[in-house]
């Protein structure tokens, strides 16, 4: 497959990468992004490993197959966490999968890590996940940060069954996916809003208890 055949997907992912970089969500070369190019068998573009994702270059992404193996001759290495994206594309119809490390997502993952999940309710932004009922809740699972990526992928894949979703990896980051790039970015932004709000509220409550 030539570069021209996935130009549209490349440009779409490059735009998402640029916008997430503007939010400063790629600290210390962290984070990786993927967008589907084909279905059955799945292939997708994924960020090259170890790069500063705030920079935009012609070598930002490479095409990989559903096992995360490069499909073209390249010196680039696929993201170390490619298998997670691969599982999203194999298990569901999702079109885009995004992974970022932020201070709020790490703090929430540590605060609720022992419970294995965090629940949000009475929050307008859970509607981003199609939670429209007044008493609806959004549960985001939190998994252990296994250093062994196949093991991490196994634990992660239990939750990667629907075409959209989010999983926190404890003291590591979050992976969010959706039907397309627009939806995946929307869901990621909604999660980060909920995390920031939650931490701010907890901090203010703690301060107000001391005065
Ligand atoms: C310095 S970040 C550690 C690796 C990681 O968690 C990450 O998200 C970036 O890894 P990649 O191989 O995709 O660059
Ligand atoms: Zn990571």
Kindly list the averaged pLDDT for each block of 10 residues, start to end, along the chain of length 211.
92 98 98 98 98 98 98 98 98 98 99 98 98 98 98 98 98 99 99 98 91 79
The total of other beta-carbon atoms located within 10 Å of residue 143's CB is 21
User: What are the structural domain ranges in the chain?
Assistant: 3-210
Instruction: Report ipTM (2 d.p.).
Output: 0.99
The CA 39 to ligand 2 mean position distance, Å, reads 25
pTM for the structure as a whole: 0.97
In a mutational test of the pocket of ligand 1, which residue from 81, 109, 147 has the highest number of ligand atoms less than 8 Å from its CB? 81
122 Rama sector, left if φ>0, alpha if ψ -120 to 50, beta otherwise: left
Domain spanning 3-210, CATH architecture: 3-Layer(aba) Sandwich (3.40)
**101 is annotated as contributing to ligand binding:** yes
Per-residue burial over 45-55, b if 16 or more Cβ lie within 10 Å, else e, is bbbbeebebbe
**146 is annotated as contributing to ligand binding:** no
What residues flank ligand 1, with Cβ below 6 Å? 28-32, 47, 49-50, 79-81, 99
């Amino acid at each position: 497959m030539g570069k021209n055949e996935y130009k549209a997907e490349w440009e779409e992912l490059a735009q998402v990468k640029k916008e997430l970089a503007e939010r400063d969500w790629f600290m210390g070369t962290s984070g990786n992004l993927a967008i589907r190019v084909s279905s059955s068998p799945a292939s997708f573009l994924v960020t090259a490993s170890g790069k500063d994702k705030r920079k935009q270059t012609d070598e930002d992404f490479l095409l990989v197959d559903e096992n995360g193996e490069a499909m073209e001759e390249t010196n680039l290495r696929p993201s170390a966490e490619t298998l997670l994206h691969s599982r999203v594309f194999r298990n569901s119809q999702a079109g885009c999968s995004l992974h970022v490390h932020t201070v709020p997502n790490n703090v929430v993952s540590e605060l609720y890590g022992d419970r294995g999940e965090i629940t949000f309710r009475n929050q307008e932004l859970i509607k981003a996940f199609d939670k429209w009922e007044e008493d609806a809740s959004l549960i985001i699972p939190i998994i252990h940060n296994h250093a062994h990526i196949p093991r991490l992928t196994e634990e992660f894949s239990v939750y990667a069954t629907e075409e959209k979703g989010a999983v926190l990896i404890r003291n590591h980051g979050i992976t969010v996916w959706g039907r397309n790039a627009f939806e995946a970015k929307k869901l990621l932004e909604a999660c980060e809003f909920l995390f920031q709000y939650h931490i701010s509220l907890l901090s203010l409550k703690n301060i107000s208890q001391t005065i």
